[in-house]
Structure 1
Amino acid sequence: MTAFPPPLEDPEDDEHSPAERAAAAARSTWVSVGVNVVLASAQIIIGIFSKSQGLIADGIHSSSDLIADFIVLLANRHGQKAADADHPYGHYRYETAASLALGVLLLAVGGGMLWSAVTKLEQPDAIPQVHLVALWVACGALVIKEALFRYMLAVAKRVKSSMLVANAWHARSDAASSLVVGLGIIGNLLGYPILDPIAAAIVGFMVAR
């Protein structure tokens, strides 16, 4: 007679109940949603008017974070459901699926950024001069994204959620991309216009990686 293993508890965290982990995930993710709405709007709008492709790319990256945040919220909602006839061990694998979806999303966004930047680099004489305001927006975004990353990672570690860790590192990749964009804008302002689309290409590579 075959002995089947008993239903598993949450494999990630024995100290917090599913409800506590779900509440922490929802709270931190909604904070991320609010931050990314403001950042993406500011980066894309200012990027268009300041003629900075790098800043626009960074804004698109921030927009991808919104999609990632809603994937996390969806997985968080379903992952806390109790075991049933179709899922005798619970719904915790929603977190694993969400982590995979985040990775696929980043790959697609990064590929699109690379394609756009390479297209611009094929016509270097047509690259415009960037306005100084783009640099201030990039620097502000860097500070905000790094702070968001530290906050989200702290919550993820507290409740031991791989899904939240993945989303936190998504925010960290945004902080790194803002740094690269800032350097590209500085180069453009110093008389090397090609550095702005190069920064956009680097951001695309970083996101895809």
Structure 2
Amino acid sequence: MDNRATVRKVLIVTLLLNLFVMTLKAVVGYLTGSLSLLADALHSVTDSANNVLGLITTKFSSPLPDREHPYGHQKFEAVGALGIAAFLAIACFEIIQGAVERIIQGGKPVTVSAPQLWLLLLVLGINIFVAFYERGVGKRVQSHILIADAHHTMSDVWVTISVMFGLIGVWLGYQWLDIVLAFPVALLVFFSGWTVIKENLPWLVDEMAIAPETIYNIAITVPGVINCHDIASRGVVGRQVFIEMHLVVEAKDVETAHNITEEVESRLEEKFSPARVLIHVEPPTYKSNHISF
């Protein structure tokens, strides 16, 4: 299923909203002199950059095969998700560096007004909408890039909440809160990046998609199948999986063997669609006890 048009639409909408949020944070951060809010604005810069990266990535991530990419192009999207993790790592470093410099070198006191806090509340509402919007559509169309970006935006929600509490504290006279809260903000950003990496590496390194025992139990129920072995799978269930196996069949002619393998393929595709199944047929005399490699 080619979901790129839907993904592009969501990315364009969220890009416009993220640019608006980034501008508000930068303006309020500049007016107040808040280190944590300026760091949060930097985090929002990565939100916008991620949307642009996603738009570029989805252009090349067609699930349909071609001559140069016979297995499709979905890994482009996973690569894009790892790019998001890289942006998060950069943001984490910048936040910590700014906080340490403020502690060592000092700086102007932070000044906050009630209208500025209300603007941050508006920013928070937009971030929450973007996170749930992206995650909902991402899960519906099985888009790695949207789900990864939703994780990033959700980290932005917690960052903004932390910054708001810090600025409320500054408003009440506790100047040190602005610097102290810059560190947990950095940790939240780092955790978000690690989550994106953890969810996308299996796709890129061809980790097993389906337990070979599960595939074996489905194949062996087909009449005419004596045994199946050397089972392998990769991809992501629900998005695209590739299954390979050797099948020992009870058949006296090629046509019968073909019909048996067609039934095995049909059952596997029904269970794990979309799936591409490759079966190597072997005669009844062949024996092997190795279900997987």
Same-fold call, TM cutoff 0.5: yes
Q: Of residues 16, 20, 24 in structure 2, which corresponds to 1:38?
A: 20
Q: What's 2:43 paired with? A: 61
The answer to whether the 8 A contact 1:117-1:197 is kept is yes
Unaligned runs of 5+ in 1: 1-16
Is 1:102 aligned with 2:84? Answer: yes
Q: Of residues 121, 125, 128 in structure 2, which corresponds to 1:146?
A: 128
TM-score by length of 1: 0.85
Shift of 1:70: 0.9
Q: What's 1:6 paired with? A: none
Shift of 1:23: 1.2
Larger-gyration structure (1/2): 2
Aligned residues: 190
Q: Of residues 129, 140, 149 in structure 1, which corresponds to 2:110?
A: 129
Q: What's 1:4 paired with? A: none
> Identical aligned pairs, as a percentage?
28
Question: 2:171, 2:112 → 1: CA distance?
Answer: 8
Q: What's 2:152 paired with? A: 170
Shift of 1:160: 1.2
Q: What's 1:73 paired with? A: 55
Shift of 1:38: 0.7
Instruction: In structure 2, give the amino acid aligned to 1:82.
Output: L
Q: What's 2:102 paired with? A: 120
Question: 1:34, 1:68 → 2: CA distance?
Answer: 12
Is 1:29 aligned with 2:22? Answer: no
Q: 1:72 to 1:31 in 2, by over 3 A?
A: same
The answer to whether the 8 A contact 2:112-2:170 is kept is no
The answer to whether the 8 A contact 2:39-2:94 is kept is no
Is 1:196 aligned with 2:178? Answer: yes
Q: What's 1:8 paired with? A: none
The answer to whether the 8 A contact 1:149-1:169 is kept is yes
Q: Deviations over 1:132-173 (max 9, x none)?
A: 243223222111101111111110011011221001111111
Q: Secondary structure at the match of 1:79?
A: coil
Question: 2:174, 2:100 → 1: CA distance?
Answer: 17
Shift of 1:78: 0.5
Instruction: In structure 1, give the amino acid aligned to 2:189.
Output: V
Q: Deviations over 1:7-56 (max 9, x none)?
A: xxxxxxxxxx20xx111101111111001111111110121012212221
Which is bigger in relative contact order (C-alpha 8 A, separation at least 6)?
1
Question: 1:48, 1:40 → 2: CA distance?
Answer: 12
Q: Which has the higher strand share?
A: 2
Q: Deviations over 1:106-134 (max 9, x none)?
A: 0111111111112112245x341322243
Q: Which has the higher helix share?
A: 1
Question: 2:64, 2:143 → 1: CA distance?
Answer: 17
Give the 4+ runs in structure 1 shifted more than 6 A: none
Report the RMSD for the aligned CA atoms in angstroms: 1.5
Between stretches 27-36 and 74-83, larger displacement belongs to: 74-83
Instruction: In structure 1, give the amino acid aligned to 2:131.
Output: F
Shift of 1:204: 2.0
Q: Secondary structure at the match of 1:191?
A: coil
